[in-house]
Structure 1
Amino acid sequence: MKLRFFGSSLVSSYWNGAATYYRGLLKALAAHGVDVAFYEPDAYQRQQYRDIDDPPWARVVVYPATEDGWRRALDEAAADADLLVKASGVGVFDQALEIAVPQAARPGTCIAWWDVDAPATLEAIGADPAHHLRAAVPRYDIVFTYGGGAPVVDAYTALGARACVPIYNAVDPDTHHPVAPREDWRCDLGFLGNRLPDREARVEEFFLGAAARLPQRSFLLGGAGWDDKPMPGNVQRLGHVGSGDHNAFFCSSRATLNINRASMARTGFSPPTRIFEAAGAGACLITDRWDGIAEFLEPGHEILLADDGAAVETLLDGLDDTRARMIGDAARARVLAAHTYAHRARQVLDRLGDGGRTCGVAA
């Protein structure tokens, strides 16, 4: 099967939280013999902040971030695709591509819309009766999502999706695994995430607020966009942390904090990439509470839950190295047993297979 995939970037995680999701899933699909070509625009300095070289399991096509650039790329991709995918959040000419992809596909090609930010997408559609995806979604053969559970499936079905299948984040054990800590990154609590409008207030509550009230503890902040944000003196900011340093980041703190963006916290059932990456590295995870977490990790045993910044403080007070290690080890065992990208790739192929009936593609 020839898979031609339009996404933000496969080779750079710079302002691109979906990078490791793409890498893990497409690498696992390639292991099943899928011929993968990934099309990404030359935008947002991502090519200047590459984390990896072009991988051996995918052909990476970087096209100019212009109208002529995406049109030429789409013509090339559609010419031989068995499965043609447009992911959300490419970053440039998204609307044009989302409308054009179903029109460009050859007869017999399966066309998939892959939403890596379904809660936010669905909120935007709900607020705009003229949103272009209302007309575009029914033209795709299948909708895959980064997650979302029944609320997202129901919402896409109501929009006219022929099928909607959540494919959750997971871990690639070859990429995310325990490593030696970095002494200069040692801390009580680390948080890794870019500064985004619908995340910032929650970071202030769960992370910065806790740091301000715990001056005797140390905090580590990784991610782009935080340079001019006022910080308590016990917070060390690192700026952008490339994916090659993620393991060291997770393994250098006693606990790692996950903070969902507001839309994901409201919708639930969308565990972000960081959950599985950190668990794969054996980190002790603390997360803001959201519906569905128990489907992935067991609260109190494999992950700790916090309702607010005060709860984060309480959890840190009750956490020593031994308990943190036990929680991290349990989380790692769970994700390796049930939540690897090999598991997710099998879901995709089983859904596309179905005797070749779903999309006319034999997986």
Structure 2
Amino acid sequence: MSAPLDIVIFGLSLSSSWGNGHATTYRALLRGLAAGGHRVLFLERDVPWYASNRDLPEPDFCDFALYDGLDDLDRWQDRIARADAVIIGSYVPDSVALLDRLAESVRGRLVYYDIDTPVTLAALESDGAEYIRRRQLPLIDLYLSFAGGAALDRLRDLGARKVAPLYCSVDPERYRPEDVEEKWDLGYLGTYSPDRQPGLEELLIEPARRLPECRFVVAGSQFPDDVDWPFNVERLEHVAPPDHAAFYNAQRFTLNLTRSAMRKIGHSPSVRLFEAAACGTAIISDPWPGIEEVLVPEKAILLADRTETVVTALSMSESRRKALAKAARDSVLADHTGQARARYLASQLGALPATSGVPA
């Protein structure tokens, strides 16, 4: 077991899961770190769209604070300076300036946690990423990536000195089978994204049209008003994390959809995949490279890129559906919990020298 670490994390959000998948990813990881005896301060930029939608305003597994801007960070200057590691997450506001500032002041390890790696890589190719610049990659002691596989090689080619995958994870205490009423044959949970919408049309909306006797649900914000929802598709604007488990458990199958950049590069399992599996819900997913390293197709997950595949899946026997769900849950509980990720992160940080020696 590694020695307890003092860690400071700048993340997009911990207090609000509205319109983002970062909050639940951080919550599982930080609960795992707390269970391992590590101390964490999470600093979140106070922005109005999260301020009005906070579903975890006072986390009990870490120190938490909101800040108004870079000039407000002097309050935590000593904690930041003496931390064993300072981690900056993707999409943090003003993070280019923040990363430059921390490179000059952090005495411990300076770490970047990219929860949007495939999107970041596409932007870094032209140096157009809004939250990190190519010139900053050599300043970072460890680049943690939401995606593995080829993404790690591309990050090295762009100038990252040390890279490692850090997939999202799940808290099995909060995501588990529940005895709730079965409401839907197939559901989907996710914020609207233009590059995911064709998959939603093909794998849920069109099946709903073809199976009027079945019930469907789509939960998530920011969907445009012109989506033609069939009568048997229920719409929920938002499902807060405390209600995720009940939401998944009320579905016979849940649909996992992946953004195009992540689907193309592969090795990018979403937090929704782990949450649904931990709840014991059978999963249908769009295919992408590396998914078989997380859940074995046809044994623990069904892969689909056509409406017909989904229509056929919804008529499978209950015994096979339950076998799929159990295999997925067993796999996730063995390898993809927050505590498993926390142990891996602590080992990665512990292997780094305390200072990089790279001039800012």
Residue 121 of structure 2 is matched in structure 1 by 122
User: For residues 242-262 of structure 1, what are the alpha-carbon distances to aligned partners after superposition, in whole Å with 9 as ceiling and x for unaligned?
Assistant: 001111111111100100111
Residue 101 of structure 1 is matched in structure 2 by 102
Q: Residue type matched to 2:162 in 1?
A: A
Name the CA distance, whole Å, in 1 between partners of 2:243 and 2:289.
30
User: For residues 43-101 of structure 1, what are the alpha-carbon distances to aligned partners after superposition, in whole Å with 9 as ceiling and x for unaligned?
Assistant: 2432332222422220111112x4534x54674652332211110022x2233323333
Name the CA distance, whole Å, in 1 between partners of 2:195 and 2:127.
18
Residue 85 of structure 1 is matched in structure 2 by 87
Name the CA distance, whole Å, in 1 between partners of 2:112 and 2:46.
21
1:103: Cα distance to partner? 2.6
Q: TM-score, normalised to structure 1's length?
A: 0.90
Identity of aligned residues (%): 37
Question: Aligned to 1:327, what secondary structure does the other structure show?
Answer: helix
User: For residues 303-342 of structure 1, what are the alpha-carbon distances to aligned partners after superposition, in whole Å with 9 as ceiling and x for unaligned?
Assistant: 111123332222223x233322221112111111222122
Q: TM-score, normalised to structure 2's length?
A: 0.91
Q: Say whether the 8 Å CA contact 2:202–2:305 is kept in structure 1.
A: no
Residue 328 of structure 2 is matched in structure 1 by 331
Q: Say whether the 8 Å CA contact 1:352–1:359 is kept in structure 2.
A: no
Name the CA distance, whole Å, in 2 between partners of 1:125 and 1:189.
37
In structure 2, relative to structure 1, the CA distance for the partners of 1:351 and 1:67 (3 Å cut) is closer
Residue 222 of structure 2 is matched in structure 1 by 225
In structure 2, relative to structure 1, the CA distance for the partners of 1:73 and 1:152 (3 Å cut) is farther
Larger relative contact order (Cα-Cα within 8 Å, sequence gap ≥ 6): 2
Question: Aligned to 2:149, what secondary structure does the other structure show?
Answer: helix
Structure 2 regions of 5+ residues with no counterpart? none
- Matches for 1:268-307 after TM superposition, within 5 Å: 268-307=266-305
In structure 2, relative to structure 1, the CA distance for the partners of 1:129 and 1:12 (3 Å cut) is closer
Q: Residue type matched to 1:283 in 2?
A: T
Residue 139 of structure 1 is matched in structure 2 by 139
Name the CA distance, whole Å, in 2 between partners of 1:182 and 1:12.
27
Question: Aligned to 1:165, what secondary structure does the other structure show?
Answer: strand
Question: Aligned to 1:190, what secondary structure does the other structure show?
Answer: strand
In structure 2, relative to structure 1, the CA distance for the partners of 1:74 and 1:320 (3 Å cut) is farther
1:358: Cα distance to partner? 6.9
In structure 2, relative to structure 1, the CA distance for the partners of 1:342 and 1:130 (3 Å cut) is closer
Q: Say whether the 8 Å CA contact 1:86–1:101 is kept in structure 2.
A: no
Residue 56 of structure 1 is matched in structure 2 by 60
Residue 252 of structure 1 is matched in structure 2 by 250
Q: Residue type matched to 2:90 in 1?
A: S
Name the CA distance, whole Å, in 2 between partners of 1:291 and 1:46.
33
Structure 1 regions of 5+ residues with no counterpart? none
Question: Aligned to 2:112, what secondary structure does the other structure show?
Answer: strand
Name the CA distance, whole Å, in 2 between partners of 1:117 and 1:344.
17
1:227: Cα distance to partner? 5.9
In structure 2, relative to structure 1, the CA distance for the partners of 1:84 and 1:48 (3 Å cut) is same
Q: Say whether the 8 Å CA contact 1:77–1:84 is kept in structure 2.
A: no
Name the CA distance, whole Å, in 1 between partners of 2:95 and 2:255.
31
Q: Residue type matched to 1:285 in 2?
A: I
Residue 33 of structure 1 is matched in structure 2 by 37
Name the CA distance, whole Å, in 2 between partners of 1:129 and 1:97.
17
1:357 to 349, 353, 356: 353
Q: Which moved more, 1:46-55 or 1:338-347?
A: 46-55
Q: How many residues were matched structurally?
A: 350
User: For residues 217-261 of structure 1, what are the alpha-carbon distances to aligned partners after superposition, in whole Å with 9 as ceiling and x for unaligned?
Assistant: 211111111262331111100111100111111111110010011
User: For residues 158-205 of structure 1, what are the alpha-carbon distances to aligned partners after superposition, in whole Å with 9 as ceiling and x for unaligned?
Assistant: 11111100011222111111112245xx01100000002332232222
Q: Say whether the 8 Å CA contact 2:149–2:266 is kept in structure 1.
A: no
Name the CA distance, whole Å, in 2 between partners of 1:201 and 1:101.
41
In structure 2, relative to structure 1, the CA distance for the partners of 1:284 and 1:359 (3 Å cut) is farther
- Matches for 1:300-315 after TM superposition, within 5 Å: 300-315=298-313
Q: Residue type matched to 1:313 in 2?
A: V
Q: Say whether the 8 Å CA contact 2:127–2:133 is kept in structure 1.
A: no
1:278: Cα distance to partner? 0.4
User: For residues 254-301 of structure 1, what are the alpha-carbon distances to aligned partners after superposition, in whole Å with 9 as ceiling and x for unaligned?
Assistant: 100100111111111010000100000000011001111111111111
1:209: Cα distance to partner? 2.5
RMSD: 2.1
Residue 153 of structure 1 is matched in structure 2 by 152
Residue 13 of structure 1 is matched in structure 2 by 17
Q: Say whether the 8 Å CA contact 2:248–2:279 is kept in structure 1.
A: yes
